[in-house]
Structure 1
Amino acid sequence: MKRLLLACLLTLVAATSPVLGAERVVNIFNWSDYIDPSVLEDFTRETGIKVIYDTYDSNEMLEARLLAGDTGYDVVAPSATFLQRQIAAGVLQPIDRSKLVNARNIWPEIDSRLSRFDPGNRYAINYMWYTTGVAYDVAKVQERLGKPITSWDQVLRPENLKKLADCGVYMLDSPEDMFAIALNYLKLDPNSKNPKDLARAAGLLGSLRRYVKKFHSSEYINALANGDICVAIGWSGDSLQARNRAREAGTDVDIAYVIPTEGSLLSLDNLAIPEDARHLEEAYLFIDYLLRPDIAARNSIATNFANGVAPSRPLIDKAVANDPSVYPNDLTMRRLFTVTAPDQTVQKLITRLWTTVKTGR
């Protein structure tokens, strides 16, 4: 009888508890080239949790996965602009900050900026922040333009971009960035959702298409570093990765990154948990790990993106921490703007206009 009772108890435990020794896993969906790979290895070593890590290179790609449901991911990294729509769609779950010891490390200024997209900071916590600007090969641009790039006029005016076409120009495949930049250049509200304003921006961008080698949001890193192109409208961290890769390769390619004087876009990428996440405990442990000052510093050093963890700044190499391309000065910060997400009707218009910009059809 005792043996029978013991057998029943063991059966009950097996049915209601995780399998003893079962592998713990966390599934991550993040931007390309956006973490120090050794951080993933160290997380597994410290926690015993295996990291399955996939990447994307556009917010549209992430959003499509989230809206389709059954993502299979436990942590994602949406940009702030897209958060509003994703929160409204119910594809993200609220984050319990009481489970994140290191949430106290977030710079209040970044939390404040993020709250414009996520009121109360309920659904996301900042991972990295960055600017959109122009990365360029110093020698090739000097040869063709006779001076460094300082203004959007040098790359958004067709007759100027034409002079650079022979050495290769890339633009971000990101309508969020490109429309905001074009609107601002046209002295319109960069956050405008007016169809006429968007059509004007699309007209400007379409006039540049013949001089653009490719629209892509990650390939320009290696293309710049290898000397295959000379100009890219890109993100600060990626552009500086290109600069560093060229230096490490010992080539004579010298890459500079500039935020044009007319101003540009400031963006926030954030950590969030999909509504259908299956490994919640592991997701919280992973997010909290990334918010540790030493880990945040390592990721900023590896990627050249600024992070939102204030105590990490003294731990970052001075070459990165004092680089105004990574951490802009106060004057530049005042010239940076953010944009909010369009509604579905305007988003469809933007998608259609962007397709026309890229294809001419």
Structure 2
Amino acid sequence: MTLRRLVLTAFCALLLAVPAGAQDRVVNVFNWNDYIDPYMVQRFTRETGIRVRYDVFDSLETLEGRMSAGRTGYDIVVPTSEPTFSRLARAGAFRPPDRAAVPNLANLDPALMRQVESSDPGNRFGVPYLWGTIGLGLNAERIRAAAPDAPLDSLALLLDPNNARRIARCGIIMMDSATDVIPTVLRYLGKDPNSTSDVDLREVERVLMAVRPFIRNFSTGGAIEALATGQSCLAFGYSGDMIQAGLRAKEADRGVVVTYVAPKEGAQLWFDLMAIPADAPNPGNAEAFINFLLQPEVMAAITAHVRYPNGVPASRALVPAEVANDPAVFPTEAQRASFFTIGPVPQAAERARSRMWARFKAGR
């Protein structure tokens, strides 16, 4: 059994091991894969008697499609601030939490709250959960063997066809998300990541099509296991996922070493926000779960487990030193100077991006 399956099996066992009386109280959560400490979920049920039904997604497109269909049955969803959260908020998809029922909102970082306010005016609907960057997960030894002169700190490692062609034999994974990939390619080209220009989009397509023959598959969460087991040597994905791949590779002790690199051209910075759908069947239980998660010791445990920083400053002192001092998890101010964020794009531009992405994936 793979390590990933062992983790998932343990998670399911924890969710099933609920105390008596919890069967009639439930909170339905739709969150990113590999994005919580399962023991904190068990602790919540033990302390409150509320059972957690936990489903996962691995792309914003999946989440937004489910939300757009309506009547999801979820009490909490965790979209990224831009563009998904802001778009769903404008469409009336969320209800504001009762702040009196979530007193631990006071634990959130005021500076971070100001940052996400552009996506959630007045911080009305969203509660910051975790944040991170998008960059390169790599097995440097195997890449060096295939392409000794390839730059390990640059998006050119992936987007220059000369490099991608040589690395292809050891496996390249592209995250399956136009929302995340296109702004990064625009940044690589020296353009505005939020550009809606048809000319710029054609240039992005040219760059992506040039490396399309060398991409083994498209996956987001699946890149963790592929990197950890040595099935792939390069992936473009979320920072914490790439760091988790390195941890799993170390635990397996099979000689695979995976590291995460925020590219020198600049990494996309993102924030994931917990939100309560407008038609949530159990909003009170959702508020109880959110309030539980915002405790410093709980967020510290989650950050230690998934290797993503969180929005509760008091938690950092409780995070193990090797995590708190890891710049791949908590970027330095110098690193953050090159990071960028994205905003929403008009619907017509979004459709054009989706059509281009479909052509790219199909390779034609």
Specify the TM-score bucket, using the shorter chain as the normaliser.
Answer: over 0.9
State the shift of 1:99 in Å: 2.1
3-state secondary structure, aligned to 1:240: helix
Spell out, residue by residue over 1:182-217, the C-alpha distance to the aligned partner (whole angstroms, 9 max, x if none): 000111001112222122112211211100001111
Spell out, residue by residue over 1:144-181, the C-alpha distance to the aligned partner (whole angstroms, 9 max, x if none): 22266111122211111111000000011111111011
Aligned AA (1:296): M
Name the counterpart of 2:64: 63
Spell out, residue by residue over 1:281-326, the C-alpha distance to the aligned partner (whole angstroms, 9 max, x if none): 1000001111111110111111011111111000101111111111
Structure 1 Cα separation of the partners of residues 219 and 194 of structure 2: 22
Name the counterpart of 1:74: 75
Aligned AA (1:284): E
Match of 2:279 among 276, 290, 293: 276
State the shift of 1:21 in Å: 8.9
Q: Quick one: percent identity of the two aligned structures?
A: 40
Name the counterpart of 2:116: 114
Name the counterpart of 2:357: 354
Structure 1 Cα separation of the partners of residues 344 and 214 of structure 2: 29
Structure 1 Cα separation of the partners of residues 259 and 30 of structure 2: 30
Name the counterpart of 1:344: 347
Name the counterpart of 1:52: 53
Matched-pair contact (CA < 8 Å) for 2:228–2:245: yes
Matched-pair contact (CA < 8 Å) for 2:138–2:258: yes
Name the counterpart of 2:14: none
3-state secondary structure, aligned to 2:241: helix
Structure 2 Cα separation of the partners of residues 298 and 145 of structure 1: 39
Match of 1:231 among 224, 231, 234: 234
Structure 2 Cα separation of the partners of residues 285 and 206 of structure 1: 47
3-state secondary structure, aligned to 1:348: helix
Which residues of structure 2 form unaligned runs of 5+? 1-20
Equivalent positions of 1:1-361 (< 5 A) are 23-81=24-82, 82-146=84-148, 149-361=152-364
Structure 2 Cα separation of the partners of residues 206 and 46 of structure 1: 52
Structure 1 Cα separation of the partners of residues 159 and 243 of structure 2: 22
State the shift of 1:343 in Å: 2.4
Name the counterpart of 1:16: none
Spell out, residue by residue over 1:19-61, the C-alpha distance to the aligned partner (whole angstroms, 9 max, x if none): x997111000000000011111111000000100000111111
1:27–1:156 distance in 2 versus 1, CA, 3 Å = same
3-state secondary structure, aligned to 2:73: coil
Report how many residues are paired: 342
Which residues of structure 1 form unaligned runs of 5+? 1-19
Runs of 4+ in 1 over 6 A off after TM superposition: none
1:103–1:21 distance in 2 versus 1, CA, 3 Å = closer
3-state secondary structure, aligned to 1:90: coil
3-state secondary structure, aligned to 1:337: coil
Structure 2 Cα separation of the partners of residues 258 and 45 of structure 1: 38
Once superposed, what is the RMSD of the aligned Cα atoms?
1.3
Name the counterpart of 2:8: none
3-state secondary structure, aligned to 2:342: coil
Aligned AA (1:125): V
Task: Specify the structure having the higher radius of gyration (Cα).
Answer: 1
Spell out, residue by residue over 1:101-150, the C-alpha distance to the aligned partner (whole angstroms, 9 max, x if none): 11111112211111111111111011000000101012101212226611
Aligned AA (1:196): V
Task: Please report the TM-score for the alignment, with normalisation by the length of structure 1.
Answer: 0.92
